[in-house]
Structure 1
Amino acid sequence: MQSSDEFFNKNLQQNKNIVGISAAIIVNDSVIWSNGFGYADKFNNVPMTTNTIVNMGSITKTFTSLSVMQLQQRGSLNINDPLNSYLTDFRPKTKNIDIKDITVRSVLTHTSGIQPDIWKNSDLKSGKYTDVLGYINDTYITYPPGMVGLYSNAGYNILGTLVKTVSKQDYAAYVHQNIFAPLGMSQSGFAMDGLKYRSKIYLGGNEVEEYELRDIASGGIYTNINDFSKYAIELMKAYNGESSSIIDSPTIREMFSLQNQNVPIESNKKGLGWFMFKNDSNFAVYHAGSAGFAQAKLLLIPKSKFAVIVMTNSAEGGAIAEEFCFSFLKKYQLSITDLFPAPITGKIHSSSTPIKLSRHSLKRYLGNYAQEEGYIKVILEKDRLRLIDGERQYFLTPLSRDEFLPTEIFPNDSLAERSNKRFVFKKINNENFLFQRIGDREYESGLKLKNVDRSVWENKTGKYRHFGYQMLIGDTKFKEAEIYISEDNVLMMKLTTFGSVRHIPLRIITHDHAVTCGINAGFGGFNVSFFEKDDQKVVDFAGLTFRKDR
C-alpha cells in the first residue's frame, strides 16, 4: 500500500503532464488499497479521488462480451452460430470468403476479418453505434475468418447491435439493467447519462475538449474506481464458483480460456473479450482502454483472486498505469512474454548448418512483402537471396526449405551473421507471409503482394484532398491521400495527417477496392475504395473521403 502511494506520487511529480490518476488493488474479494492522485479539474483544484468518473475506453469491450455471453447463458443465442443468423442485415462484401464463417465467436475474439474501425460520423453528435453495421456492409472482409487477429472496434459495435437485436433492448439500457444495477454500479454509465463527478481530460497538462464517441459498445462506458472494483470482484467470484448475479461459473470460465491458439497470424493470446497472459503455472486476463485522452487498465488474476485497476485523465498517464499493473505479474508466476502466442513457424534450428536449395526453389520467395509502412524486397543475387528492409539488408542462408539465417550487409560491404535471428517464409490460406523469429518471439514481417496491373490502376493515381466528415482528435485528423505505384510495382498510399506522413502498401481486392497492409498497427487492415461522385474521382479510407484535384 505504501509503495503504491509512493509510485504514483513520484510519477506525478516527475511528469507534470499527468494531471490525475486513481487506482485500486483487490485481494480476496476486498479492495485492500485505493486512492486518487493529482486533480480531476486542475483549474478549479478539484482533487482526483476514487469517486472521480473517467471513460474506461476499450475496457467497455469486456462488458459487451459479457452481455453477449449472458444472452448465450439464457439460450437466446449461440456464439458458434454465424453472425448473420441473428443480424440478417449483416452483409459485408466478400471475395473467396463464406459469410457464414463469420461467427459471433470470431467477432468476440477479433478474428472475423472485420476491419478495425469506421471513422465516418464517429462522434456521438454525428452518429450512433448501430450505424456501424451499415457502414461495414460497404466494405470487404479483410481476411478469412480465423486467419488473422485484427483488433476491431467496428466488430464490437456490431456486437452492441447484436445485443440490442437479441435482447430487444438498446445496448446502453441492457448494460444498465443486466450489469450495472445487479452490481450496484450506481455511478457508472454512458456519455448521454449526464454523470456527475466526471473528470476533465488533459493533453500535455492542458485541458482539452471531451470527445464523446459514437462507439458506445466498444469504448463508451464511464465509471470510477469504486464501481470498477465491484465489477472486478464479481467476475473473480464467478470464476471461483461463487454465486453471481451477472454470470455463472462455466460461462466466465469459458470467457477466461484461451480461444485463439489456432489462429495463424496473431499478436496476443485472447479469451472472449479479454487479452490473456498464460503459462503452465497461472494466467491473467487484461484489457486496456483509451478514449481520446482518458485511459484505463484492468488486470485480473482470477485463480489467485487478485486484481489491479488504474484510471487516468491524461494522455501521458497510460504508460505508468500499465507499468503499475504489469509490476504484479511476477508475484503470480507470470511475465509480459506470457501474453504472446506460441510461434506458428515451429522450432527454429539451433544449428546454423546451411543446406543447398536450387535456384528454382529460391525463386518462389522473390517479391515484395508489405508491412505497416513500406515493404521488404526479396531478390535473387548470384544464387542466393538478398532481403532489403529499408536501410538494412541481409543475405539469407537456407537452413531448411523455409527457414533462413540472415547475414547483415553493411554499407562498407562488411558482413555480420545474426545467429539469434531467423527469417521464415510460410504459406497460409494461399497467401505468402514472411516471419521474423528472434528467440521464442515471432513477428509477422510482411505479406507478399501481387504486382499491380498498371492499365487498371494508373488512372487512379494522384493526390486526393480530404473533404467531408473530419476526425476531431490526435493523429486521425487527415489532410491528404496520395495514390502512387512504386518503382517495384507496388500500389501505395501516402497518407498525410496533421501529425504524420505514412507510406502504406495496398493489397488489391478488386479493380476498385484495396486493403491497407499491416496488422494491429497504425492504419493497417482498412478498406480503401475508389469511385466517382459528381464527376470527381473519390477515395474512401476507413469511412473518410478524399477527392482528386481537378
Structure 2
Amino acid sequence: MKKRKVLSILTIILMSISSLVHAQESNQSINSKLIEEYKTLIKDKMQTGHLVGVGAALILGDTVWKEGFGYADKEKKIPFTTNTALCIGSITKPFTGMGIMQLQEKKLLDIDKPLVNYLPEFMIKARGGDIKEVTVKSVLQHTSGIPNDIFLNTWDENEKYTDVVGYLKNEYLAYPVNLTVHYSNIGYSLLGHTILKASGQDYQNYIQDNILKPAGMNNSGYINYCKLKNVSKTYDSNGTYFPVKYGRNTPAGGLLSTIDDMVKLAQELIAIYDGKRGGFLKPEALRMFDEINNGNVQISNVVFGWGVAKDDSNLVITHVGSHHVAVAEIAINLKKKIAAVFLVNTEGGLDLSAEATEKVWELSGMNSANQAHSVQNKNNASSIISVDSIKKHVGLYVDTRTSHVLKFENDKLILNSVYGNFELKPLTNNEFLPGYIIKPDSVKWLEKPRFIFVETKGYKLLYYQDAYNNRLALGHIVIPQEITGIWKNRLGKYKLEGHEIESADKFSEVELLIGDNNLLQLKVFYTSSEYLYNLRIENDNELIFCGFGTDTSGETLSFSKDGQNDIMKFYGLNMKKIN
C-alpha cells in the first residue's frame, strides 16, 4: 500500500541520455564514458547497499551494452548474468496491456466497452456510479477506480488470477471512473481474466505464445507454466536469502525475465514504433503513445500499462516493478532508439536507479523544463478577477499522507505545503501561476506550471499541472468533521488476525488516532518504518483514505463487531482491536 510510481525514475535517464548521445552521436567515446560511469556506479552501490546481484543494459543507438554483476545464488557462487531470470513485478502489467491491445487488433474486444461485457462476473459497489462506466480502457489506464489490492489469500498457492473477481463484490470503487489515476493490481488481474475470456486461452499461455515467443524472449515466462533457466534467488536488505512466493495476481506482477530478453523487447518496440510490420503489435497501437502530452490536459499518462513521458524530441515509455525484494526497471525512448534496463535481486535496489539518474543528469547538462526566475514580490492579481472568487479556494486540502493549507492574507493567496510555500497569482478564477516564496520580499515564479482548482464529481480538487499539461492531484478540500463517540471508542491499536503478509517489509499492526486538523489518521507499522494516512468519515462504520495518491487513497476502511471486539477490515484483512 506504500505509494507506487507508474512513471519510472529511468524516464529522466532516458531523456538525459538522448540529449547526450544525439547531440554528439558521432562521438562514440561519449557512449563508452557513460557505460564506464554505469559500471562504476553499479559496483559502488552493490558494495554500499549490500546488493547481491544486478543486471543492467543500455541501448544507445546502435550500441548495446549489457552486463551482469554479483551473484544469482550467493551461497553457490553462481554469477548473475544477462541470461539470469528474475521476477520483474509490475513490469508484467505492460505485457498484459499489450495482450489486451492484440485482442483489440483481432477485434475480439473493444477497449472502449464496459469491462463487464467481457467479464460478466465483475461486480463491485459504486458510490453514486454505475460499474458499466468501468471500461477496459479505464482499467488499462488505472482510472477505473478499482481498488489497489486485496491482501486476503493473495499468496495462497491454490488461488489463481481468476479468483480475484470474487473478492470484489463487497468492496467499493475508490473513485468515480476517470476522475484520477488509482494504481490497481486487482485491475490488471481482471484484465488477465479478460484475456482468458476473449481469447479462450489461459492468460499465461496467451502471453507466452503471442508476445514472448514472437519477441524472441526465450528465457521469460511464468512459474509453473514454462521451463525457465538460471532463475535468481532473492535477498533482503542484509543480503540474506529471502524466498518468495508467486501469488494470484500473476497478470499484475508474476512475469520473470532476463536482461537479454528485456533488451529484445525494447528493440522490438522501437522497431514497431519505427514502422515495422509483422511484430506482436501493429505500429498503429504504439501511436497511442503520441496522444499523451499533445496539448490536452491528461488524467492519466498510462497507455496499456506503460507510463509515458514526452516532449518535442523524446517519447519515453517506462515502468518500475518489484516482487517482494526483487526490483526491475525499464525505460525506452522510442524516438531516439535508446533504452535502459535494470534487474536487482536484492531489497533496496531502487536506490541504485536513483543514483544512476543523478549520474546521467550530471553528464547530460539538460535544463529543467519548468524554467524559473526570481522577481520582487508584488501583488499581481488581475483586476478582472474578484477577490471573492479567489477567496473561495481557501481551505484545507488533504492528500493521502500530506495536507496543504490555502490562506488569503495581505491580499494574496498563499499555499503552505509540504513542498514549500507558494504565492498563487490568478490567471483565471481557477488557474494560478505558482511563485515559490524564497523569502518575504522575493518570489521565484515558475513560468509554465500551474495550480488548478477543479470541482468535479463531488470533489473540489487542487492540482499541480506541469509544463506538459500533466496533472497531479495534490489533494481535495476537507471540512474537519466532528469525531463522534462511536469513532472515539474505536481509537487504538489493531492487530492482524489469522493471516501473515508475505513481504520482507510488512505490517501486522495499525493504530487509529486523531491527528492534525482534527482528522482521523491510520498509522501503519511496517517492519522498516511507520506510515501515517489521513482519513475522512463516510458514515458510522466506514472511513475513506483521503487524497488522490496512486494506491491507498480512496480505499474504504470498514468496521464491525465480533462479539465485544472491534474489527477493522483493511485491504480485505481482519484486524482486531487490542487496546
What TM-score bracket applies, with the shorter chain setting the length?
0.7 to 0.9
- The code of the aligned residue for 2:381 comes to P
What's the CA shift string for 1:108-153, capped at 9, x where partnerless?
Answer: 1111112222222222536332232222333211222222112222
Query: 1:151 aligns to what SS in structure 2?
Result: coil
1:505 aligns with 2:534: yes
Name whichever of 63-72 and 128-137 sits farther off: 128-137
Query: 1:420 aligns to what SS in structure 2?
Result: strand
Q: How many residues in Structure 1 have an aligned counterpart in Structure 2?
A: 532
Match of 1:130 in 2: 162
1:274 to 1:419, Cα distance in 2 relative to 1, 3 A: same
Match of 2:236 in 1: 203
Match of 2:101 in 1: 69
Match of 1:235 in 2: 269
1:199 to 1:487, Cα distance in 2 relative to 1, 3 A: closer
CA contact (8 A) 1:153 1:218 kept: yes
Query: 1:304 aligns to what SS in structure 2?
Result: coil
- For residues 360 and 416 of structure 2, the distance between their equivalents in structure 1, rounded to whole angstroms, comes to 41
Name whichever of 139-148 and 313-322 sits farther off: 313-322
Deviation at 1:94?
A: 0.5
1:226 to 1:188, Cα distance in 2 relative to 1, 3 A: same
Query: 1:147 aligns to what SS in structure 2?
Result: coil
CA contact (8 A) 2:435 2:444 kept: yes
Query: 2:91 aligns to what SS in structure 1?
Result: helix
1:538 to 1:147, Cα distance in 2 relative to 1, 3 A: same
- For residues 273 and 145 of structure 1, the distance between their equivalents in structure 2, rounded to whole angstroms, comes to 17
Match of 2:493 in 1: 463
Match of 1:369 in 2: 397
Counterpart pick for 1:82 among 111, 114, 119: 114
Query: 1:208 aligns to what SS in structure 2?
Result: coil
Deviation at 1:209?
A: 1.5
Match of 1:546 in 2: 575
TM-score, normalised with respect to structure 1:
0.84
Match of 2:246 in 1: 213
Match of 1:56 in 2: 88
What's the CA shift string for 1:323-363, capped at 9, x where partnerless?
Answer: 658977999x997967x9xxxxxxxxx97423688786566
1:254 to 1:407, Cα distance in 2 relative to 1, 3 A: closer
Deviation at 1:298?
A: 1.8
1:467 to 1:90, Cα distance in 2 relative to 1, 3 A: same
- For residues 239 and 12 of structure 1, the distance between their equivalents in structure 2, rounded to whole angstroms, comes to 31
Match of 2:477 in 1: 448
1:298 aligns with 2:330: yes
Deviation at 1:395?
A: 8.2
- For residues 148 and 428 of structure 2, the distance between their equivalents in structure 1, rounded to whole angstroms, comes to 36
Query: 2:302 aligns to what SS in structure 1?
Result: coil
Match of 2:135 in 1: 103
1:420 aligns with 2:453: no
Pairwise CA RMSD: 3.8
Deviation at 1:274?
A: 0.9
CA contact (8 A) 1:25 1:309 kept: yes
Deviation at 1:282?
A: 3.1
What's the CA shift string for 1:245-297, capped at 9, x where partnerless?
Answer: 4222222333564289766655xx33222111211223121122222222222
- For residues 326 and 383 of structure 1, the distance between their equivalents in structure 2, rounded to whole angstroms, comes to 40
- For residues 51 and 487 of structure 1, the distance between their equivalents in structure 2, rounded to whole angstroms, comes to 51
Match of 1:530 in 2: 559
CA contact (8 A) 1:353 1:399 kept: no
TM-score, normalised with respect to structure 2:
0.80
1:206 to 1:98, Cα distance in 2 relative to 1, 3 A: same
Deviation at 1:10?
A: 1.5
Query: 1:539 aligns to what SS in structure 2?
Result: strand
Deviation at 1:424?
A: 5.0
Match of 1:162 in 2: 194
1:477 aligns with 2:477: no
Deviation at 1:72?
A: 1.0
Query: 1:187 aligns to what SS in structure 2?
Result: coil
1:273 to 1:387, Cα distance in 2 relative to 1, 3 A: closer
CA contact (8 A) 2:474 2:548 kept: no
CA contact (8 A) 2:435 2:445 kept: no
- For residues 198 and 500 of structure 1, the distance between their equivalents in structure 2, rounded to whole angstroms, comes to 31
Deviation at 1:92?
A: 1.2
* 1:320-359 equivalent positions in 2, closer than 5 A: 320-321=352-353, 324=356, 352-354=379-381
What's the CA shift string for 1:440-484, capped at 9, x where partnerless?
Answer: 8965332112443544644544432222322132443231231x4
Match of 1:247 in 2: 281
Name whichever of 350-359 and 158-167 sits farther off: 350-359
In structure 2, the gaps of 5 or more residues are 1-30, 371-376
Match of 2:181 in 1: 149
Name whichever of 519-528 and 533-542 sits farther off: 519-528
1:253 to 1:212, Cα distance in 2 relative to 1, 3 A: farther
CA contact (8 A) 1:234 1:244 kept: no
Query: 2:575 aligns to what SS in structure 1?
Result: strand
Match of 1:430 in 2: 458
- For residues 327 and 244 of structure 1, the distance between their equivalents in structure 2, rounded to whole angstroms, comes to 38
What's the CA shift string for 1:25-72, capped at 9, x where partnerless?
Answer: 3467x7733221222222322222111111111111111001111111
Deviation at 1:93?
A: 0.9
In structure 1, the gaps of 5 or more residues are 341-349
- For residues 406 and 5 of structure 1, the distance between their equivalents in structure 2, rounded to whole angstroms, comes to 39
Identical counterparts, % of pairs: 31
- For residues 336 and 79 of structure 1, the distance between their equivalents in structure 2, rounded to whole angstroms, comes to 38
